[in-house]
Amino acid sequence: MLRTVAALTLSVVVVAPAHAGAAEPPPRVPEQVGWGGAVSSVDPDASQIGIDVLRRGGNAVDAAVATAAALGVTDPFSAGIGGGGFFVHYDARTGRVSTLDGRETAPRSATDQLFVENGKPLPFAEAMTSGLSVGVPGTPKTWQQALRKWGTLNLREAMAPAEALARRGFVVDRTFNSQIANNAARFADFTSTRDLYLPGGQPPAVGSTFRNPQLADTYRELARTELASLYGGAVGRDLVKTVQQPPVVPGTTRNIRPGAMEISDLARYQVERRDPTRTRYRGLDVYGMAAPSSGGTTVGEALNILESTDLSKASDVEYLHRFIESTKLSFADRLRWVGDPAFSTVPTDGLLSQKFADSRACLIKPDAVLPAPQPAADPRNPKPCEATAGLSSLREDAERTTHLTTADRWGNVVAYTLTIEAEGGSGIVVPGRGFLLNNELTDFEFVAPTAGVPHPNLPGPGKRPRSSMAPTIVLDHGKVVLAVGSPGGSTIITTVTQILTGRLDRKMSLRDAVAAPRASQRNAATTPAEAEFIAAATTAGLQAIGHKFSQNAEIGAATAVERAKDGRWRAVAEPTRRGGGAARVVKVG
């Protein structure tokens, strides 16, 4: 009965006539508290669609897929059907946390020389804006598998509101406009991207209505064919042709290299169901995403390093010092050990063992800063205060992704991070289909960081590149405490760790923990930090210890939900980053 009612309701949305202009968008609200379920995302239209699904009787999974599909319309430069992601689900009936790995894969033709030309690694910008960087998308199959395993709607029902949104249009905000402006030079080099996002040679004006009927048609075709059109059919053939023959504007001076993806790569793609990572922290169970994501292990290791220090009683300077040093060390180990588990052995249990964390924690001094980059240590054979696994450093990566969190009246929760990698992905829209392709394969190391030493994150046939996405769910005796995640490339890991310690240790409200000024130490000599962090009174104390900071415009854009003791849900979104997010509950109160 639930499926029938939902289908009838959603069908009305699909066949409703398009408005002459998009309605005024729902407001951006950083926090709501109430009953019946919650949705939090970066975009008010997307969050509202998720809440509408909950109001019609859908569950957290239905709402997550509907919200994600809407983000593919309104936040297409961060995520969409041309990308991938990681889906973490809590089942209130069983108390079990499960995950889906919808990470993109390299084509079967890929080798460890994918981004090497004439013996040298390609410049990152050239690799990014190319067919070479495009991985086989996993997002649509993630939606399908999540709905089949845990949802009450089918794919057509869950995607219908987003299809209608793409067809009728939405109001362009400053973030949407600026993301196009930031990428205008490369968008202008592809006929399909130029025609969609640079009409008349300029980004759509703030306050105007943006429609994407091509994407609406693609959504309808994917839903109608149960994704067969993408993973082997007409949409897939268009995608492959775009990768192999990018629609370059004649006369462009940009060196745009073709890729070698085949339709068989799409047909072969599978979403993997993986065991989540689990870390005990302050008596709570912190669940995250396992390899090929490094989010679960790196957040978990940092928390384990901090476990031996009572952060609730530390001064602000002591707390931030310990936080910064813990992520410095966990990032050292991340680079050395984490990759696609189908291609190399990832010592997950060792990375998350308290014994290993304690062997790293003893390196941290209260009155001095560890030099960086720190070498990695060997979690298979922990030696207290000794790093033995060779040098480690950070390769900067793109910082555009999106995260959403949902919860329902039955207590089910989803934390879902999805991406097309860089802002605007590869920059290439599939002609006639209305969606951007990812540049996810640039998450591979182009060459081994240490010559002659095997590395877990080099390209390979069918391989999934390492990710930093960290959708996280925290339980107390099997019951949800909170769920959180963020965009931001490798800063995702530090953002999630900072929010967790702020909420769980420092007893900040969830809203304040999400909004707090951020620093992101990832095993470098200087810690990138937001201007407000650098301007805070604590910074002088950190600098006195030896910390060095560089200013970063913005770090992350988290969303979260939290369960109150009386059963209400608290939905929280960023108040200002990326223009502010949109937190919603079904019934405020």
All residues at 6 or more sequence positions from 392 whose CB lies less than 8 Å from its CB, including other chains: 331, 332, 333, 335, 336, 373, 374, 375, 376, 449, 523
Whether the bond between 373 and the residue before it is cis, its omega within 30 degrees of 0, is yes
C-alpha distances in Å from residue 9, one per residue of 13, 53, 157, 249:
7, 9, 9, 43
Cβ contacts of residue 14 below 8 Å, gap of 6+? 160, 163, 164
CA of 292: how far to CAs of 101, 132, 271, 525, in Å? 8, 20, 12, 26
Provide DSSP, 442-509: GGS-SS-SSTTS--TTS--TTPPPPB----EEEEETTEEEEEEE--STTHHHHHHHHHHHHHHTS---
List, in order, residues 6 or more apart from 154 with CB less than 8 Å away. 3, 7, 147
Pairwise CA distance, residues 430 & 412, whole Å: 36
Burial group, residue 305, by CB count within 10 angstroms (0-12, 13-18, 19+): buried
Q: Quote the CA–CA distance of 388 and 381 in Å, as a whole number.
A: 9
Angle at 183 between CA 178 and CA 185, to 5 degrees: 125
Of these residues, 175, 401, 491, 495, which one is catalytic?
401
Residues 551/535, Cβ–Cβ less than 8 Å: no
State CA 170 to chain mean position distance: 23
CA triplet 303, 274, 146: central angle to 5 degrees?
110
Q: Count of CB atoms within 10 A of residue 21's CB?
A: 12
Q: Which residues of 123-155 are buried (b: 16+ CB within 10 A; e: fewer)?
A: ebebbbbbbbbbbbbbbbbbbbbbbeebbbbbb
Alpha-carbon distance of 94 to 395, in angstroms, equals 40
Are the C-beta atoms of 323 and 493 separated by less than 8 Å?
no
Q: Which residues are 570's β-sheet partners?
A: 33, 562
- The tally of CA atoms less than 13 A away on the side-chain side of residue 226 is 5
Q: In one letter, which amino acid is 197?
A: Y
Cβ pair 400, 417 in contact under 8 A: no
Q: Is 468 annotated as a binding residue?
A: yes
Is 288 annotated as ligand-binding?
no
Please give the Cα distance from 445 to 460 (Å, whole number).
Answer: 11
Please give the Cα distance from 69 to 436 (Å, whole number). Answer: 14
489 annotated binding-site participant: yes
> Which token pair is 19?
């408005």
DSSP 3-state of 271: coil
- The two beta strands, 569-573 and 559-563, are antiparallel
Ligand-binding site membership of 340 (annotated) = no
Catalytic annotation present for 401: yes
At which residue do the structure tokens 């999106």 appear? 402
350 among the known binding-site residues? no
Which positions are annotated as active-site residues? 401
Binding residues: 103, 443, 467-468, 489
Which residues fall in the annotated binding site for L-glutamate? 103, 443, 467-468, 489
